C-alpha cells in the first residue's frame, strides 16, 4: 500500500484464498482493465463483476478513477475477492474520507479462509476411507 509519486498512481494489494491482485489506481474516467483485458471480458459471471465494483460504488468513485489490475493464482471467485480488497486499499489512499464507508461495508477486511491441508491417512482434509465390514 503506497503511492507511486512519479505516475500519480495509488497501489493496493489484495489477497483471497490463493489469488493475489495488484491494483494501480489513478484519477480518470472509470476504465477498468484486468490482465490487459476489460472487466466484462475477464469476469464473465455477474457476481464476480459486482464484487470488483462494490468498493467503487460504495464510495462514489466509479467514474472518477482508472484501474489497472494484475491478477495471479486462484480461480474466478478468489481473484474477484482479491481485486475487491486491493481496490478498497487503493481507494483508502486515494480518498481518505472514503475510509469510513469502506470499513462499514467491511471492504478492508481480509478474508482469512483458506483450504485446509490434506491429513495423513485420509483422502482429503476431513474425508476418510470407506469402511468395509468384510
Give the pLDDT confidence score for residue 7 in this predicted structure.
82
Mean pLDDT, range 102-106, rounded to an integer: 94
Say if residue 100's pLDDT is above 70: yes
Give the pLDDT confidence score for residue 10 in this predicted structure.
94
Cα dihedral 59/83/78/14 (nearest 10): -100
Across the beta sheet with 37-38, what order do the strands follow?
2-4, 9-16, 19-27, 65-72, 32-34, 37-38
Q: Which CATH architecture has domain 2-104?
A: 2-Layer Sandwich (3.30)
Say if residue 22's pLDDT is above 60: yes
Say if residue 103's pLDDT is above 70: yes
Q: Tens digit of pLDDT for each residue in 45-92?
A: 999 999 999 999 999 999 999 999 999 999 999 999 999 999 999 999
Give the pLDDT confidence score for residue 43 in this predicted structure.
96
The total number of residues shown for the chain amounts to 134
Say if residue 2's pLDDT is above 80: no
Look up residue 131 and give its three cell numbers: 469402511
Say if residue 1's pLDDT is above 60: no
Give the pLDDT confidence score for residue 6 in this predicted structure.
75
Give the pLDDT confidence score for residue 70 in this predicted structure.
97
Nearest by Cα to 67 from 46, 77, 53, 81: 53
SS3 129: coil
SS3 24: strand
Q: What pTM did the predictor assign?
A: 0.90
**Proportion of the chain above pLDDT 90, given as a percent:** 93
Q: Quick one: how far is CA 133 from the chain centroid?
A: 48
Amino acid at each position: 500500500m503506497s503511492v507511486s509519486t512519479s505516475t500519480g498512481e495509488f497501489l493496493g494489494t489484495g489477497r483471497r484464498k490463493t489469488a493475489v491482485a495488484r491494483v494501480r489506481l489513478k484519477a480518470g474516467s472509470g476504465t477498468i482493465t484486468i490482465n490487459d483485458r476489460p472487466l466484462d471480458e475477464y469476469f464473465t459471471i455477474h457476481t464476480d463483476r459486482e464484487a470488483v465494483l462494490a468498493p467503487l460504488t460504495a464510495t462514489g468513485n466509479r467514474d472518477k478513477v482508472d484501474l489497472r489490475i494484475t491478477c495471479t493464482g486462484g480461480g474466478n471467485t478468489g481473484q474477484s475477492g482479491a481485486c475487491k480488497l486491493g481496490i478498497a486499499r487503493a481507494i483508502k489512499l486515494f480518498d481518505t474520507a472514503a475510509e469510513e464507508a469502506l470499513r462499514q461495508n467491511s471492504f478492508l477486511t481480509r478474508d482469512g479462509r483458506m483450504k485446509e491441508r490434506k491429513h495423513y491417512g485420509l483422502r482429503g482434509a476431513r474425508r476418510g476411507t470407506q469402511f468395509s465390514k468384510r
